Structure 1
Amino acid sequence: MADIHFLAASGNGPVECRIALASLLSILEKEAKARGCTFEATAGRAPDGHGPASAIVTLGGGDAMRIAAEYGGTIQFVFKSPVRPHHKRQNWFVGLRQIELAGDAGDITIDPRDIRFETLRAGGPGGQHQNTTDSAVRATHVPSGITVICRDERSQHRNKATAIRRLQAALQLLVERDISDAKTALFLANKDLERGNAVKVFRL
C-alpha cells in the first residue's frame, strides 16, 4: 500500500496552537507505531522553539487509511497556556487533512546537487509483499533539511524519482509566500479550522 500524506496546520493561531501541533505529531507517531504503521514528519519552521506552524506527515502500513479517517479534520486541545499563564483561553485548534505529494510541485525546482540520497531496506508492515531489497530511499534537501522517504516502488530508480517530486511538493507547501497563494493558505487560514466540529479532543 502506498504511503498516505497529511498536512497538519495550526492556522494563523497563536503560539499555543503550535504547541498543540507539536503534541499532535507526538500523538500520531505513538498511534502509528502502536498500530504497526510507519511514521515520518516534515515540520515547518519553529521560530521560537514552541513548535512548527505546519508539518507534513507520512504514514505507511495497513492501518494508515484508518488512522487518516479517525484523525482527519479539526482537532481540539484543552490546556492552560504555558507561555501566557494568566490567559483565560484553554481551547486550541489544529487541522489535519490528507494531501498528495507526488503531483504538481508548482514553481519549485531543486538543484540535484542539493539532494542527499540514502538507500534503506524497506521496513514496517507488508508481509509477503514487503519489499526486501534496498530499494527504499531517504532523500534530504540539504539547504532546508527537509527529508522524505519513498518506499512505494520495488525499483530504487523510481523511488528516487518519486522522492524528488515529494521534496519539491514539500518545499512548495512549506515555502513562505503571499497568503493569497492557495497552497500556503492551507497553513495560514483560520477558516480551515472548524472550531465547532472537532473530530478528536485531547486534554493536556
Structure 2
Amino acid sequence: MADESTSTLAELDALEARLGEVESYLHIDELRGRVSQLEAESADPAFWDDADAARAVMAELAQAKNDVTSVDGAHERISDARTALELAAEMGEDGAEFVAEAATAVTDLTRVIDEMELSSWFTGEFDHGDAIVTIKPGQGGLEAQDWTFMLFKMYMKYCARRGWKVTINDCPAAEVIGIDRATFTVEGKDAFGMLRAEAGVHRLVRISPTDAKKRRQTTFAGVEVIPVLPDTVEIEVSPDDIRVDVYHASGPGGQGVNTTDSAVRVTHIPTGIVVTCQNERSQIQNKAACMQILKARLYELELAKREEALDEIRGPKHDIGFGNQIRSYVLYPYQMVKDLRTEVETGNVESVLEDGDLDPFIIGYHRWVAGNAEPTTLSNQSAE
C-alpha cells in the first residue's frame, strides 16, 4: 500500500504542476478581477437597455466564472486527495480506503485538467463558440456516400457525449445508399475549437457491402468546419446577389422530412457558394439558417483573401481522395483508426464509429498543434 500511496502522491504533484500552467494560460488572477467587474456592470439598472450588448457581457461572465470555478475546484480536490493520503499514512494497513479515494481523485482530476488545458489552448477569435460542420463524399462512388453517412452518425454520437446541441440543417438521402452530404450546427462550449481538429479528408478501408465479390474498398469523405459568427460580426449580403430556390425535402434513408415544400437553397451568385437547409418546416426559418451559414462562409472567404491563410479557419483545402487524408479508419484486413498527423491510434474501431469516442484524437490533435505532441497508442487497442 505504501508504494501505491507514493505513486498517487507523485501523480498529484504532476497534476498540480499542470494546473499551475493552466492558471498561467488563463490569467486566473486577472480573470477574478474581470468577474467582479462584469458582475458590477450587470447590476446596473440600465444594463439591459442594450439587449445584444448585455447578452455578450453575460456570456463572457459565464465563461469567466466557469474558468475560475473549475480551477478553484481542482485545487480543492487536490488538497482533499493529499489529506486522504496523510490519513492513510497515519492509519497504516487500515488506510487502504483513503488511498483508493485519492487514486479516484487522480483519475477525475486528470480528465478535468485535460479539459482545462485543452480550453486554454483555444486562442482563436471563435474557438470558444459554436460550429457549422459539413460532410461531403469524395472518391469512392456509392461507398463514399455511405461513408459520409457513417461519419455523420459518428459526429452525432460525439456531440451527444459532449452534451452539445445539434441542429441538422441539411442531410439529403442518396439515391442508392448513404447521403449526398450533411450540414449541421453544433452549439456548446468550445465547439468550434474542438471540432476544427476534424477538418480534412477521412479515409475508410473495408469490405464493400455493395460488392457481390466482397472485395476490399477504399473510400473518402471530406469534413469542413467553420465558426458560427457572433452578432458582433456583421456581413452584408445584398438581396441582388442571392438566388433563393424552394423544393421538397427528404431525409437520410429517403423518408420525407416535411409535408410541404419548405426546403430552401440559397445561391450566392458572385462567389457560387450554395447553401441548403431543410430542417425546419417553415421556409422563413430555413432561409434564415441558410443565411447564417452563407455569412459564415463569406467571412471565411474574406479572411482567406485578406490574409492568404485559409488554414486559420479550416485547414488547407485538398481533393477528397488519395494522399490527402488526415485520418484512416481500417475495418479490413485489421481493425485500426489512426490519425496521420498525431499518430494517435486505436484498434477499438467500434468505440470510435459507433460510440463517437473522438476525444483522444481531438485532444491529441490540439496537443500536437500546441507543440506538446507525443505519439500515442490508446490503451483499449484490440488485437488485429
- Which interval holds the TM-score relative to the shorter structure? 0.5 to 0.7
- The residue aligned with 1:184 is none
1:26 aligns with 2:153: yes
Aligned length: 147
2 CA distance for matches of 1:65 and 1:45?
26
Match of 1:109 among 236, 244, 265: 244
SS in 1 for 2:186: strand
Match of 2:261 among 129, 143, 149: 143
TM-score, normalised via structure 2 length = 0.33
- The residue aligned with 1:45 is 173
TM-score, normalised via structure 1 length = 0.57
Match of 2:182 among 55, 63, 86: 55
Q: Is the 8 A contact 1:101 1:166 kept in 2?
A: no
The runs of 5 or more residues in structure 2 that have no matched partner are: 1-127, 230-234, 249-257, 264-277, 295-317, 332-384
- Decide which structure has greater helix share: 2
Shift of 1:84: 0.9
Shift of 1:6: 1.9
1:57-107 CA-to-partner distances (Å, cap 9, x unmatched) read 221111412432221100111211101132634221000112478875963
Change (3 A) 1:44 1:101: farther
Q: Is the 8 A contact 2:192 2:226 kept in 1?
A: no
Q: Is the 8 A contact 1:70 1:199 kept in 2?
A: no
Q: Is the 8 A contact 1:10 1:93 kept in 2?
A: yes
Change (3 A) 1:11 1:198: closer
Shift of 1:108: 3.0
The amino acid that maps onto 1:166 is A
2 CA distance for matches of 1:198 and 1:51?
20
Shift of 1:148: 5.3
SS in 1 for 2:289: helix
SS in 1 for 2:155: helix
Match of 1:11 among 126, 130, 138: 138
Q: Is the 8 A contact 2:203 2:328 kept in 1?
A: yes
Mapping of residues 30-179 of structure 1, within 5 Å: 30-41=157-168, 42-48=170-176, 50-86=177-213, 88-99=215-226, 107-109=242-244, 142-143=260-261, 145=263, 146-147=278-279, 164-167=287-290
Q: Which moved more, 1:94-103 or 1:81-90?
A: 94-103
SS in 2 for 1:29: helix
SS in 2 for 1:32: helix
Q: Is the 8 A contact 1:56 1:170 kept in 2?
A: no
Change (3 A) 1:35 1:163: same
Q: Which moved more, 1:21-30 or 1:57-66?
A: 57-66
The amino acid that maps onto 1:167 is C
1:102-141 CA-to-partner distances (Å, cap 9, x unmatched) read 8759633367xx9xxxxxxxxxxxxxxxxxxxxxxxxx79
1 CA distance for matches of 2:322 and 2:184?
22
Give the structure with higher Rg (CA): 2
Q: Is the 8 A contact 2:130 2:192 kept in 1?
A: no
The amino acid that maps onto 1:44 is P
1 CA distance for matches of 2:137 and 2:199?
14
- Decide which structure has greater strand share: 1
1 CA distance for matches of 2:143 and 2:154?
16
Shift of 1:162: 7.6
| RMSD over equivalenced CA pairs, Å | 3.7
1 CA distance for matches of 2:223 and 2:137?
9
